[in-house]
Amino acid sequence: MQYTGRLMRIIAHLDMDAFYASAELVRDPRLKGRPVAVGGRRGIQPLPGQDFPLLGQYQGRGVLTTANYEARKLGLHSAMPTMRAAKLAPQAILLPADFEWYSTLSRRFKEAVLQLTPVMENRGVDEIYLDLTEQTQGDFEKARQLAAQLKQAVKDATGGMTCSIGLSENKLTSKICSDLQKPDGLTLVRPHEFETVVWPLPVGKVNGIGPKAQAKLIELNIRTVGELALAPLPQLQAHFGNSYGLWLYECARGIDRRELSLGGDPKSISRETTFENDLHIRRDREALTAILTRLTDKLASDLERKKLKARTIGLKVRFPDFTSVTRDHTPGHTVSSATEILQAARECLKKVPFDTSASNHPRSRIRLLGVKASHLSHMELADQPDQLPLWEEDAR
DNA sequence: TCTGGGGTCCTAGGACCC
DNA sequence: TCTGGGGTCCTAGGACCC
């Protein structure tokens, strides 16, 4: 076979539009055209005369997970505290998150995609990357046609949900451009078009430049990706460190060599919960113990389901002032049962700097409690509670 | 109007070993 | 006297993403 040179890579980023809210609409078409937000786990009852619960009724400490496009017009967006959203748009519909239903739809759209193209990287429930290089032989026109087919397949598989696709030579650029024509968009950026399309955008549009880095860049008078491209490498490395500085320098030039990351086991599994009201570490001891037990039980069953065990258990505590501390414990043997996890979590708890010197001291109460399992490995047959190794079969 | 829950990756110091 | 360099593990915190 003759080698004719490397193909131009073609990477797609496919992002479902307002996924959770659209998922609710698939189930109940009465929601069509109305502002809908999704947030919280427990639902609230509709007021008499209303077909759905309204945002204005909400009381609690949650945030919105999703707002559909009608709700966004009212100023709502994901991660917005629900109480704030309630002030802003009391008449919008508020639905509780139903993660099982969203997972079902997630599986459906991903399966539909895999029917058309095989190389997929999962990025959570509503996003994927696809490597279309082989299938399209590096031809952007073929890729555009394939992307149109993908959009249709997703729609068919989900009962009408739309997605937006970005197409370019790498993950970074495709991720940026899938966002440019939402909803129901298809945006293709060839390498020579990078500067025209991406340079005018604010640096915050780049996946990997968050609020902190953006604020620091603005101090340097850098607001757009084009302005970032003017910054010399030594300047960026002086302010952001060698590694992140280099990354910023390259991403302003559309350089991103990352391959798709396909599957694999999770690195950590965790469970956490924010309380309705802050709990006092002494006065609410019983309630806290119950919550910690519930969290470790859930974590243990997560590990059991995935047939994993952990070398390290971590505890997370958030105080009323929103500061958090984490403490780790590595017992010296791997753990998987609820009892072992709880024991390790208690070791962590001993190391948390509580302070009850004053009754209203910020570190005398807790807002959130979480438990995490990390350094995971596969359970061996002998680890599994109800399965003796084969050679012990006769002894049963 | 106070800020969910599930993750990944990076940095950096100290312990400990060779 | 006062002091090497490298490797790995553990721990804590923080930025970022969906």
CA atoms of A26 and A161, how far apart (whole Å): 7
3-state secondary structure of A244: helix
Q: What would the two tokens of residue A26 be?
A: 């698939």
Q: Which pair of tokens denotes residue A327?
A: 């403490």
Contact at 8 Å (CB) between A135 and A146?
A: yes
| A3 is a domain residue | no
Closest nucleotide C1' to the C-alpha of A314? C11
Domain match, A289 and A213 both: no
Nucleotides of B under 7 A from a protein CB: 1-12
Q: Does A264 contact strand B, using a CB cutoff of 7 Å?
A: no
d(CA A171, CA A309): 33
Average pLDDT over residues A69-82: 96
State percent of chain A over pLDDT 70.
95
Q: In this predicted model, what pLDDT tens digit does every residue of A83-103 receive, in sequence order? A: 999 999 999 999 999 999 999
Number of domains in chain A: 4
Is A15 annotated as ligand-binding?
yes
Taking only Cα atoms into account, the Rg of chain A, rounded to an integer number of angstroms, comes to 25
In this structure, the answer to whether residues A277 and A351 fall within a common structural domain is yes
**pLDDT above 80: residue A4:** no
> pLDDT tens digits, residue range A335-377?
999 999 999 999 999 999 999 888 788 899 999 999 999 999 9
Give tens-digit pLDDT for A23-51: 999 999 999 999 999 998 888 889 999 99
Q: What is the pLDDT of residue A357?
A: 86
Q: Is A359 among the domain residues?
A: yes
pLDDT score, position A382: 66
The three-class DSSP label of residue A270 is strand
Segment A270-307, tens digit of pLDDT: 999 999 999 999 999 999 999 999 999 999 999 999 99
- Token readout for A88 is 């802003």
Burial class of A391 by CB neighbour count within 10 A (0 to 12, 13 to 18, 19+): exposed
Does any domain span residue A339? Answer: yes
- Cβ-count burial A50-70 (b if 16+ within 10 Å, e if not): eebbbbeebeeebebbbbbeb
Residue A263 pLDDT class (50, 70, 90 cuts):
confident
Q: Is A120 part of any domain? A: yes
Same domain, A61 and A122: no
A304 is catalytic: no
Q: Are residues A227 and A162 in the same domain?
A: no
Nucleotide nearest to A124 (CA to C1'): C18
CA of A349 to C1' of B14 (A): 21
* Residue A267 per-residue DSSP state: S
What's the average model confidence in pLDDT over A102-127?
Answer: 97
Whether A263 is in a domain gets the answer no
pLDDT beyond 50 at A242: yes
A365 and A310 assigned to the same domain: yes
Residue A298: partners with Cβ closer than 8 Å, 6 or more residues away: A271
Give chain A residues 352-391 with Cβ within 7 A of strand B: 367-368, 370, 372
Same domain, residue pair A273 and A372: yes
Domain containing residue A335: 268-383
Query: Is any atom of strand B within 7 angstroms of residue A212's beta carbon?
Result: no
CA–C1' span, A112 to B18, in Å? 55
Q: Is A184 annotated as a binding-site member?
A: no
pLDDT tens-digit map of A188-198: 999 999 999 99
A300 with A348, same domain: the answer is: yes
Question: At residue A250, does pLDDT exceed 50?
Answer: yes
Which of A79, A98, A117 is the endpoint of a domain?
Answer: A98
- Residue A261 falls within a domain, yes or no? no
Beta bridge partners of A151: none
CB atoms within 10 A of CB A22: 26
CATH number at residue A61: 3.40.1170.60
Nucleotide B8 C1' to residue A267 CA (A):
8
Q: Which nucleotides of C are covered by protein (CB under 7 A)?
A: 9-18
Reported as a pLDDT band with limits 50, 70 and 90, residue A6 is confident
User: Which CATH number characterizes residue A279's domain?
Assistant: 3.30.1490.100
CA/C1' separation A305–B2 (Å): 36
> What value does the mean pLDDT of chain A take?
94
